[in-house]
Chain A
Amino acid sequence: MTKSPLPENGKPLAHFVSKAKFNPHAVEELTPELEKYYQASQHKLMWWKFKNHRLAYWSGILLIVFYTVIALAEFVAPYDYAHRHADFIYAPPQGISIIHDGALKAPFVYGRTQELDMENLQRHYPVDKTRRYTISYFCKGDAYEFWGLFEAKTHLFCVEGEGKLFLLGTDRLGRDMFSRIVHGARVSLTIGLIGIAISFILGITIGGLAGYYGGWVDMVVQRIIEVLQSIPSIPLWLALAAILPVTWSPILIYFGITVILGLLDWTGLARAVRSKLFSLREEDYVLAAQLVGARPSRIIARHLVPGFMSHLIASATITIPTMILGETSLSFLGLGLRPPVTSWGVLLKEAQTINVVVLYPWLLLPVVPVIVVILAFNFLGDGLRDAADPYH
C-alpha cells in the first residue's frame, strides 16, 4: 500500500501555500474561446448556436437545395412536365444500372417496350437487356423558356438516343413523374411561404395590438377572431374559392388561393400572441421601457415579441406544412389548383384513387418530397428556436 497524500484520520491537513505569483484579475481572465464568445454580437451567437444543431443545419442546407432546384426546375427536370410519352403510359419507375454483363459501365438504363395485356387491359413494360442507354449530362432535350428570359434545351441529365429515363415512372398520360414533381415543387414550396407571411403579419400585428392595449381594442379583435374561428375553415375556403373569378388564369388562381390560406390562418396565432402578451406586459422590463418613454410599437416589437419568439417559430414550422397540405386539401375538394398547373397537391389528388394504390403505387411518390420538406422545416424551426435564445 502506497502512502496516501492525505493525512491519517484525525490528523490536521498539512498547510499549503501556493508559490505562484498572485494575479488579482485571474477570475475575470478568459480563454480565447470564451473571450470570443463573450465579445460576439447577438447575431454571431445565434449563428453558432444554430450551427451546433446539426439536424437543423443540414435541414437548412437541404431546403436551400430544394429552393435552388425549383428556381432551376426546367433545367433539372429531364422532360417538360406536360410532355406525354405515348408509348410509356403507366410505366413503373426505372432503375439505373452500372453493371452490364458483369462489367462496370457508366450509369445507364435498359430499354423497355410496351406490351398490352388485353385480358386485364393493362400495360406491361418488360426490360429489354439488349438495348442500353447511357446517361449523359448537360444534354439537349425538351425546349423550354427559362424564367421567360431565354429559350434553352439543355437539361441536367437525360439518356442518349431513343432511350427514355423515367426515374419515378410515368402517369396515365405517360408524363414523367420526376419532372412533374420537380415542377410541382415550384408551386408547393412557395405557396406556404406567401401564405404564412400574410398570416404572420396579420397575426402578430392584430394579436399584438389586442394584447398590448387590451380594453375595447382587444374586445373588437376578439370578436373578429371569434367570428372567423367559429366557422370551419373548409366552408370558408369553399366560399372564397367560389368567388375567385372563373376567368382568372391558373397563376392568378394560385395567388388567390395563397391569399385565402393566409387570410384565414392568422386567427390562431393572433390569439396566442394576445394571451402571451397579457402575461408579458406585466413584466418589469416592460414597465421600465414604458417609463423610459418607449412607444407601444417599439415595446411590442423590441421587448415583447422576442419574448415569445420561440413560440412563433414553433407555430411557423407547423404552419408551413399546414399551408402546403391546405393546398392539397383544396385540390382534393376540386377548388385548388387545377391541371395543367402542377403542384404536389394536384399530383396527390390525381393519386387519390384505388387504382393507383393497387396498380400504380409509384404515383404516390409525391408524398415523399412533402414529408422530407415538412421534416426539414420542422428541424430548421427547432434550430432557429434555440438560436433565437442564444444565452440559454
Chain B
Amino acid sequence: MLRYLAMRFLAMIPTLVIASMLIFAIIELPPGDYFESYVAELQASGETVDPAKIDFLRIEYGFDKPLWQRYFGWVGGMFVGDFGYSFEYERPVSELIGGRLFLTILLSFATIIFTWMIAFPIGIYSATHQYSWGDYGFTFAGMLGIAVPNFLLALVMMYFANVWFGVSIGGLMDPVYIDQPMSMAKFGSILQHMIIPVVVIGTSGTAAMMRRIRANLMDELQKQYVITARAKGVGPVKTVLKYPFRMSLNFFIADIGNILPSVVSGAEVVAIVLSLETTGPLLISALQSQDMYLAGSFLMFLAILTVIGVLLSDIALAILDPRIRLAGRQSK
C-alpha cells in the first residue's frame, strides 16, 4: 500500500507539468491578447484609445517577450504564491478568486447534498423495484432534469421566482446585502437565492447519478453472493446495503476527482445566466476577454484540485477494493 501511495504521489508531478503546459496553450491559443480585445470593446462603444498607450502596457506586462519566457515566468511565480495579475480587474488574481470562493463552495456543497439526498434513495429504489411505476416515474422526472437545458430552466425559474415570491432577480443575495457583514437577514437572503441554482444545477446531476447507481446496483444484485445472502435469509434492506450497494459505489468514487474542481468552479453556464457571485463567471469572462493570468492561474488551481481529487479517489478505491492495489503489475 505504501509503495502504491508513493507511486501515485510521484505520478502527480508529470501530470501537473503537462497540465500547466496545456493550460498555457489554452490561454495562448486564441489569436490576439487582452489589450486587443479591450481596445476593440472600448471602440465598440465609441471610446477611443491611444495606440501608444496600449503598446506601452504591452511592454509593461511583458507581452513582447517570447512564449517560453512568459510560460516560465508564470509557472515560476506560482511557486512563490504569485498567481499573476488580472488586467481586467487591475488587481492580483489571488484577491479576485479568494473573494468569490466562499459562496462558490457553499453553493457547490448545497448542490452536492441536494443531489445525494435525492439520487441515492431513488437510485436504490429504482434498482430494487425495476420497471415499477415508481421506477418509471422517477426516471421520467430525472430525465426531465437532464433534458431541459440548464440555462433556459434557470431563466424561467428566476423570472417566476421574482413574479410569485418576490425574489430579486439574479445574484446569490439581495443587492442590499452585498459587502455587508453577515447577519440573519443576509443569510436568509442567501438561502432564498440559492434555491434556484441548487435546483437547476442539481437536477441534471441528480438524474445522471440516479441512473448510474441504478445500473451498477442492478449489476451487483444479480451476482451470486446476493443470491446466497437471500437464500441465507438476510433481510432485504441489509441484502442490498451491505455489499451490493457498496460495490456499486466504485464508479461513484472514481468520480470524486471530478467533483472537487467542480465544487470550486461551480456550474459556469448557470452562474452566468443567474449572475451569481461565484468563480465560474469570472473564469469564463476572463477566458473571453483573454485576461490570461486570471484564466490561467484559476485553471491551474482547478487542475491541482482535480489531481488531488483523483488521488483521493484512487486511495478510496484501493481501500474499498483491494484488487486495485495490485494494479501496479498484471497479477497473472
Contacts and interface: CB of A to CB of B under 8 A. Distances in A.
Interface of A: 53, 55, 213-215, 218-219, 222-223, 226-227, 229-232, 234-236, 238-239, 242-243, 268, 271-272, 275, 278-279, 281-282, 287, 290, 308, 310-311, 314-315, 317-318, 321-322, 325, 328-329, 332-333, 345, 348, 351-354, 357-358, 364, 367, 370-371, 374-375, 378-379, 382, 385, 392
A229 B257 CA distance: 8
Contacts of A213: 330
Contacts of A348: 149, 151-152
Interface of B: 11, 14-15, 18-19, 22-23, 25-27, 29-31, 131, 136, 139-140, 143-144, 146-152, 155-156, 159, 208, 211-212, 215-216, 218-219, 222, 250-251, 254-255, 257-258, 261-262, 265, 268-269, 273, 283-284, 287-288, 295, 299, 302-307, 310, 317, 321, 323-324, 327-332
A308 B212 CA distance: 13
Given A239-B287, A318-B208, 10 more contacts: A227-B18, A229-B306, A230-B304, A238-B30, A238-B287, A272-B254, A310-B218, A329-B269, A333-B269, A371-B143
B299 A231 contact: yes
A375 B269 CA distance: 23
A282 B323 contact: yes
17 contacts: A214-B327, A219-B11, A223-B14, A235-B284, A235-B287, A235-B295, A236-B26, A238-B284, A242-B29, A278-B327, A281-B330, A311-B251, A325-B147, A333-B284, A348-B151, A357-B155, A357-B156
A226 B310 contact: yes
Contact of B155 (A232, A322, A354): A354
Chain B contact surface mostly: helix
A275 B310 CA distance: 13
A374 B136 contact: no
Contacts of B15: 223, 226-227, 230
Contact of A214 (B208, B216, B222, B330): B330
Contacts of A375: 140, 143, 147
A328 B155 CA distance: 15
B306 A321 contact: no
Contacts of A222: 11
Contacts of A239: 25-27, 29-30, 287
Contacts of A325: 146-147, 149-150
A185 to B, nearest CB: 14
Nearest to B290: A242
Nearest to B283: A235
Contacts of B11: 219, 222-223
Contacts of A333: 269, 284
Nearest to A226: B15
Nearest to A239: B26
Given A238-B288, A317-B211, A392-B222, A328 B26 contact: no
B14 to A, nearest CB: 6
B146 A374 contact: yes
B152 A287 contact: no
Contacts of A374: 143, 146-147
